[in-house]
Structure 1
Amino acid sequence: MQEWLLPGTVLRNRYEILGLIGQGGMGAVYQAADRRLPGRRCALKEIWPLPGTSAERMAQTRQQFLREASTLARLDHPNLPKVSDFFTLSPSGLPGDDTGADSEPLPPAQEPDPQATTARDLAAVSRDYLVMDYVAGQDLEQLCQQAYREGRFLPEPDVLGWMAQLCDALSYLHCQQPPVLHRDVKPANVKLTPEGRIKLVDFGLVKALDPDDPATMTGLRGMGSLPYTPIEQYAGELGHTDTRSDLYGLGATLYHLLTGQTPPSAQQRFLDQDALLAPREINPAISPQVERAILAALALHPRD
């Protein structure tokens, strides 16, 4: 039975599920209350194995998850939500597969939205969890949609201020040893807090660049969102991605915010060189230097 966790469910005698924030093919995100720290709200990301994954591959993926979660837990930057905990819970009947103190079998769950097509049978496999700060506020995609409904563009100075903060976060990630890639930079994954701070959220596709272990984070990674994904990332595990891959997502995000239009995918552009309209053709208020920066970030080939 395909299921999500019910509000009121408590994990590890600590995290009480308040509700479902979102879901996708790789997992779900819940808002939860931390019972050990009254008043604290956190985002709890549940990561699902890919359908058809073998038991051997799942075991490898779990070890990769634990290594990468340890990396995320060490990150500390004002434009990134802090990862405070991570753990694995096994389903009933699989004792000894839990990771972390106070682990317990999976709790009861709820039926998903009947329209959803991306859930999987959660009762048959273990589940991995990341616990991070809950970030209040709107994401930049919502702000862009609001501006579109009002018949206006987002002001360039505002957008550039947000992007400066986002660049700080990406620079911090890319300067880690080994560098950490986000791999899914897009407006929906960038939130603006009520205090005006930008937060880069959703580490579901994060990857640590380890030359000795090219398969790191296989279980957490996917291809990303096509309009914001460079062509080298389409190959999944076989593709070579580096810090420039996040810069493509940054450029696509900036294009979307200033034009109000989702950019065509890299695949579309590879097949049709005229698919991408110059930003100033859509919004003449964009400054020429910003347009040049956007187009440079959206180069199809990383070396460009």
Structure 2
Amino acid sequence: MAEIGSIIDGKYEILTELGHGGMSVVYLAMDRRLKKQWAVKEAKKKPPGQSNIVGLTPVSEAEMLTKLNHPNIVRIVDIVDQNDTIYIIEDFVEGKSLAEEVKHGPSTPEDVVLWGSQLCDVLEYLHTRSPKIIYRDMKPANVQLLPDRQQIKLLDFGIAKKYKPQNVGDTTNVGTRGYAAPEQFDAKVQSDARTDVYSLGITLRSLLMGKTPYDVEFYDDIRKQNPAVTDGLIKVLNKATAQNPANRYQSAADFKYALQHYHDRDEAVIRIRQRKLNAFRGLIAAAISFFMIGAILMPLSFVVRNHDYQDKLSSGKYEECIAIDPTRADAYQGYVESASANQLATLPDYIGQYTQIKDTEDRNAVGFEIALRVELNSNLDKKDALDNACKYYRSFASTDPDSIRILPNQPFDIKNGLESVDIPASIATIKLYYAQIYQAAANYSNDPDANGAAKNLDEVMKNLQTIRSFLEENKDQLAAYDALYNSANTSDAECQGIYDFMVKSQANCLIDNKAYFLPKRAAALQCFFDDSISQKAKQNFKENT
């Protein structure tokens, strides 16, 4: 190893060690003539125990890199050959490795797509050389993130190889376990461009989760660690990391395109496009009918109006769509599915016109989706978010919303509102009842002796037990709405479906209002379900009461 302060080739003074790996050590050096800092990689010409490996020596790495010219690959400026050691003089790249980024927790999807796109460009460049170069060691530690957090540089070509079509398999099994593709450990299979696609997919997953393949949590749903990740991005990474190379993206360019258009695979976007397609088909059918039978059944104004509606819908001009025809569902759904947390906290008045949707099933479905998104994603606390959502739950509840009250001498039995097989209507009734509990608890906190305080707490506990029974008995029917819930839920990785969501809602109601329920502490504890979510809540309730 070079000593600190030693001078290589009469001009490169070793200042400090930057890092080391199995086959090389990297130093920071000062060019005494140019007064410029460089990175110096020191390595043996033939690493111990690897003399049988063709094309993996530092010499071949240096020769390979001197022929490459890409903005995301470090530049070699000099090669010093001394006895059995070679020194590769490279640009000193400031910043930190993406491995450090992983240690600091999940990265945003926007950053990961930006960095991943650049790495795809690098890989596509390598794969299109003649002969093509397969990198074979893509991982966060081999990528340097520059201080601007915008640009990356690919480092360490120590195990890259030139692709030889006539070869049946690789010369040796190389790569970093966890990041390496399965075929890298099969001597009968030769690595190719799809090998690098796999490793890059694992690298990007690691960044999104803030975990490495050596962490147990790495193999969970990405959204448990990073709720900002959408199902479309997960689909793209799953394809990139397929076990069978034939099922992956066949080139880095294909992977880059998928990364940059991952929203096209989001379920919410697919549903909107399907609605547009169905509407377009309807428009074509209407136009054909118009030309076939004249204006008897299909006035020209209707065709023009439909065309105008579809044009504005495809441009995201939802308010103008609703102004043209407030009786159609897709503009309301399009708005709430694209709305930010701030927008969901204060929905515009025109969204309230969804009650004019003609089809009852469509109207209730839109109301349910709006209510879910408002409650789950607005940047308000639980009580205020629920109050906002109740504006929409009221429109399709199974019980007259005005009858859902918690007042002395005015008993309310929620059982009557849960006899319907309409799951969204039953959920709306339950949510409206929870909102009343929050209100009653707030009144109790302000004046514990008030008439509306906890005088009918026995009735409240009975209704909570009824809700518990309803959810347990209708677990399968609730599962039918999991897809809608999961598409709406971008903030709570703990809940995996509508049943979990309703369980947690009741737990939150009890915990948030624990002072109100304290006189019936034992009965309140019985309302918790026997699963992981509510067990945490149960312990919380015990400890705080």
| 2:66 counterpart residue number | 73
Matched, 1:27 2:20: no
Q: Residue 190 of structure 2: SS of its match in structure 1?
A: coil
Specify which of 240, 243, 250 is matched with residue 190 of structure 2.
240
Matched, 1:283 2:226: yes
Matched, 1:208 2:166: no
- Cα distance in 2 for partners of 1:258, 1:206 equals 26
1:107-132, Cα deviation, whole Å (9 max, x unpaired): xxxxxxxxxxxxxxxxxxx1233221
Specify which of 214, 221, 230 is matched with residue 181 of structure 2.
230
| 1:127 counterpart residue number | 85
For 1:77, give the aligned amino acid.
H
Contact kept in structure 1, 2:61 and 2:158, CA below 8 Å: no
| 1:51 counterpart residue number | 48
Using the aligned pairs only, state the percent identity: 35
Matched, 1:160 2:113: yes
Between Structure 1 and Structure 2, how many residues are aligned? 246
Matched, 1:86 2:79: yes
For 1:197, give the aligned amino acid.
Q
Q: Residue 227 of structure 2: SS of its match in structure 1?
A: coil
- Cα distance in 2 for partners of 1:191, 1:214 equals 33
Report how far residue 255 of structure 1 moved.
0.5
- Structure with greater strand percent: 1
Report how far residue 303 of structure 1 moved.
1.3
For 1:76, give the aligned amino acid.
N
Q: Residue 158 of structure 2: SS of its match in structure 1?
A: coil
Report how far residue 45 of structure 1 moved.
4.0
Contact kept in structure 1, 2:43 and 2:85, CA below 8 Å: yes
Q: Residue 5 of structure 1: SS of its match in structure 2?
A: coil
The 3 A distance-change label for structure 1 pair 202 and 68 is closer
For 1:173, give the aligned amino acid.
L
Specify which of 171, 177, 199 is matched with residue 124 of structure 2.
171
For 2:230, give the aligned amino acid.
S
Contact kept in structure 1, 2:169 and 2:190, CA below 8 Å: no
Q: Residue 178 of structure 2: SS of its match in structure 1?
A: helix
For 1:144, give the aligned amino acid.
V
Contact kept in structure 1, 2:138 and 2:203, CA below 8 Å: yes
Report how far residue 185 of structure 1 moved.
0.8
Flag the structure with more relative contact order, 1 or 2, with Cα contacts below 8 A and sequence separation at least 6: 1
| 2:305 counterpart residue number | none
Report how far residue 11 of structure 1 moved.
1.8
Report how far residue 239 of structure 1 moved.
4.4
- Cα distance in 2 for partners of 1:180, 1:31 equals 28
| 1:123 counterpart residue number | none
Report how far residue 211 of structure 1 moved.
4.2
The 3 A distance-change label for structure 1 pair 234 and 14 is farther
For 1:155, give the aligned amino acid.
T
The 3 A distance-change label for structure 1 pair 43 and 11 is closer
Contact kept in structure 1, 2:97 and 2:144, CA below 8 Å: yes
The 3 A distance-change label for structure 1 pair 204 and 257 is same
